[in-house]
Amino acid sequence: MPYFKKSPWVIHYDASSCNGCDIEVLASLTPVYDVERLGIVNTGNPKHADIFLVTGSVNEQNKDVLQNIYSQMPDPKVVVALGICAASGGIFRECYNVSGGVDKLIPVDVYVPGCAVRPEAIIDGIVQAIGVLEAKRAKLKSMAAGLEALEVSPAFFTDAEEVLALQKLAYQSEAELYNDFTLSPLCQTVEELKQDFSHKVFLKAVMDNKIVGSVRAYADGGGCFIGRLIVHPLYQNLGIGKKLMQGIEAHFKDAKRYEIFIGHKSKRTIFFYTKLGYKKFKTEKVTEKRERVYLEKFNLED
């Protein structure tokens, strides 16, 4: 096994296994097989986990939980389907409530067959997952290094479909945060977005001929109203959001102030805007569960 700088942490979820594979996961973690001796730690917190071990198939009862755990894990992350049920649904695959294997819902990187899957195979699967994890980390690092080549430029009417697809992807985490999949960015149609192009300026961040980020804004009464800063989940935390914000502020360089709003639970995003010099000036209730936090920044160069 190669040397890794950081111990990979795993999280285990029993989707709907018969318990046969689960007991083997426990056998891998406890003495005798003791995967911890290789520096692999089992955690109960998805936010600390690098590798997601799933046993059992996907059904109507567990699909939301599975997706929730997956979405909370930080990138890069690796999913390992343990046992034939997790791979394809196994002997349960034609049951009325079974959708199939884990890859029906989330991307799977490593499949470990078996019924039940043996501890040696589980350890082997985890070692393979570490290789995938390292490759994903290296890719993220090279993307960060290639950020210099990122181009921020105006988006046009013809980009509407690609921007909308990215918007729907980027707002998934927001929807999960509020458990509300009716948020307006998720329900917007391509025709509505095309109409926005008539009175808003859109910027896009392009990498490898693909739109990986976007922001839009309009001017009114000396103010610049910025909205829907979106970055592809795989390209987040690389500075793309900051470049887009700098780009849209530069585009509206004559504005006296800039304004943006964000959901009250989006603490990381609020912190991001605070670092860019924005300050909270009001909150507004949208629904019983959701508030908008309004932030502003005055243009000192004006």
Instruction: Indicate the helix (H) or strand (E) that contains 201.
Output: strand 201-207
Q: How far is the CB of 56 from ligand SF4 (least distance, A)?
A: 5
* 85 near ligand SF4, rule: CB under 6 A: yes
Q: What H or E segment, with its residue span, contains residue 296?
A: strand 291-298
* Shortest Å distance, C-beta 91 to ligand SF4: 6
Give the angle 55-59-63 at the CA atoms, nearest 5°. 80
* DSSP state for residue 287 in the 8-state scheme: S
Residue 197, C-beta contacts closer than 8 angstroms, at least 6 positions apart: 156, 157, 160
Q: How far apart are CA 133 and CA 76, in angstroms?
A: 7
Residues 141-160 that bind ligand SF4 (CB under 6 A): none
CB of 82 to ligand SF4, least distance (A): 8
Least distance between ligand SF4 and beta carbon 184 (Å)? 41
The answer to whether 156 and 197 are in contact (CB under 8 A) is: yes
Binders of ligand SF4 among 221-260, rule CB under 6 A?
none
Work out how close the CB of 195 gets to ligand SF4 at its nearest, in angstroms, rounded to a whole number: 50
Give the residue nearest to ligand SF4 (CB): 20
Q: Is 20 in the site for ligand SF4 (CB under 6 A)?
A: yes
Give the CA radius of gyration of the chain: 22
Question: How does DSSP classify residue 136?
Answer: H
- Which one, 17 or 28, has the nearer CB to ligand SF4? 17
Shortest gap between Cβ of 103 and ligand SF4 (angstroms)?
A: 15
Among 90, 100, 101, 119, binds ligand SF4 (CB under 6 A): 90
Report the distance separating Cα 302 and Cα 300, nearest Å.
5
- Rounded Cα–Cα distance for residues 109 and 87 (Å): 11
For residue 37, what are the contacts with CB-CB under 8 A and spacing of at least 6?
none
Which one, 91 or 144, has the nearer CB to ligand SF4?
A: 91
Closer residue to ligand SF4, CB minimum distance, 84 or 170:
84
The answer to whether residue 115 forms part of the interface with ligand SF4 (CB under 6 A) is yes
Identify which of residues 24 and 50 has a Cβ nearer to ligand SF4 in the complex: 24
Is residue 41 a contact partner of residue 9, using CB atoms and an 8 Å limit?
yes
Number of residues lying near ligand SF4 (CB under 6 A): 13
Strand duo 257-263 + 201-207: pairing: unpaired
Q: In the bound complex, what is the minimum distance in angstroms from residue 84's beta carbon to ligand SF4?
A: 4
Q: Choose between 114 and 227: whose C-beta lies nearer to ligand SF4.
A: 114
Are 216 and 247 a contacting pair, CB within 8 Å? no
Q: Which of 240, 241, 276 minimizes the C-alpha distance to 259?
A: 276
Choice between 15 and 205, CB closer to ligand SF4: 15
Kindly identify the residues of this chain, within the stretch 25-84, that bind ligand SF4 according to CB under 6 A: 55-56, 83-84
Using CB under 6 A as the criterion, which residues of the chain lie in contact with ligand SF4 when the complex forms?
A: 17-18, 20-21, 55-56, 83-85, 90-91, 115-116
